[in-house]
Amino acid sequence: MKRRQLILYALLFSSGCTIANPLNSLSNKSVINLPKKLRFTVTDVKGIQELRQNYEAFRTVLEDILNIKIEFFPVESFIAAAPALQLGQVDIVLAGPSEYVILNARAKAVPVVAITRQKYYAVIAVRADSGIESISQLKGKKIAMRSKGGTAGHIYPIKLLLDAGLDPKSDVQILFLGDRGMEALKQGNVDALARSFSGYEKALKDAGLSKTEFPAIARGALLPSDVFVVSNNLDPALREYIQNLMLKHQDKLLQAILSAPGNEQFKGSKMAVAVDTDYDMIREVYRAIGEGDFIK
């Protein structure tokens, strides 16, 4: 432990105090006791194999910049991440906006670093030959959505339906098809597809299809950033230490994330201090669809 503290002091006071300045709110006598390890997960990644495939490079870089061993802790869903945080099974979580709202409400997760996403908004697409040109025409139709609780693939498309005067419980049939939504739309098994814009573009590319063949008839507002949260059981000084070093070394971290082929949505992303109120729009959607109790 003495060696870890010595390393930390070197980090704080070397090279013109590049780390000391962000931590100047701490007492000069404060000492951050670095834990031997921290456990990390991503809410929309299932299983240890997928975590390693998409975030091994990120894990390695994060471990290096924090000088703390980082271990993966896979979760089966974003709902499962909440009790994992509460029970101290995981310490750092990368979550989407909708997932963050739930983790914050149910596990008092603390937001530390937001990771922006370009063109991060929900779209609803249809077949060009369907004759459907507006959301209101989806009444009585089937809509493929990605996963329950997903920000761009469920929560915000529901808001688009509500804004168009449709009751998502009775006016349309919602099918959660994961990444099979575009194929279902192509085959005529559903009438529309709701996805993030990047997910929509990727699905078209993977299937060799075009926007002319499957145009987007609606686009939502720009969504809040994805966010790295930490357990509220971590010492506040350690949370700040993690935040400052992630922001300082964001170029390395983002490069590591983008090195995995499954993370194209983060192309052009930047990291910034996470602000809880940025996610109030998601909370409003939950209340609008009658799920306010879910985020209390």
pLDDT tens digit sequence for 146-164: 988 889 999 999 999 999 9
pLDDT tens digit sequence for 239-263: 999 999 999 999 999 999 999 988 9
- Amino acid at the residue 93: V
pLDDT of residue 131: 95
Percent of the chain past pLDDT 70, that is, above it, reads 89
Look at the alpha carbons of 123, 124, 130, 132 in this order and tell me if their dihedral is positive or negative: negative
Confidence of residue 118 (pLDDT cuts 50, 70, 90): confident
**Domain ranges in the chain with CATH number 3.40.190.10:** 37-117+224-294, 122-219
pLDDT of residue 116: 92
Residues in the chain: 296
Confidence of residue 26 (pLDDT cuts 50, 70, 90): very low
pLDDT of residue 294: 67
Q: Which two tokens stand for residue 292?
A: 């306010």
CA atoms within 13 A on the CB side of 21: 6
Tell me the DSSP string of 9-61: HHHHHSTTTTTTGGGTTS-TT------SEEEEEETT--SHHHHHHHHHHHHHH
pTM, entire model: 0.80
pLDDT of residue 16: 35
H-helix segments, the chain: 2-13, 48-66, 78-86, 97-107, 156-163, 181-187, 197-207, 236-248, 250-258, 280-288
pLDDT at 44 over 90: no
Q: Superfamily for 37-117+224-294?
A: Periplasmic binding protein-like II (3.40.190.10)
Quote the CA–CA distance of 238 and 6 in Å, as a whole number: 15
pLDDT at 14 over 70: no
Segment among 44-48, 104-108, 215-219 with least mean pLDDT: 44-48
Confidence of residue 182 (pLDDT cuts 50, 70, 90): very high
For 122-219, CATH number out of 3.30.230.10, 3.40.190.10, 1.20.272.10, 3.50.50.60 equals 3.40.190.10
Instruction: Please state the φ and ψ torsions of residue 86, each to the nearest 5 degrees.
Output: -60, -35
Mean pLDDT of all residues in 83-107: 94
CB 271 within 8 A of CB 112: no
pLDDT at 22 over 50: no
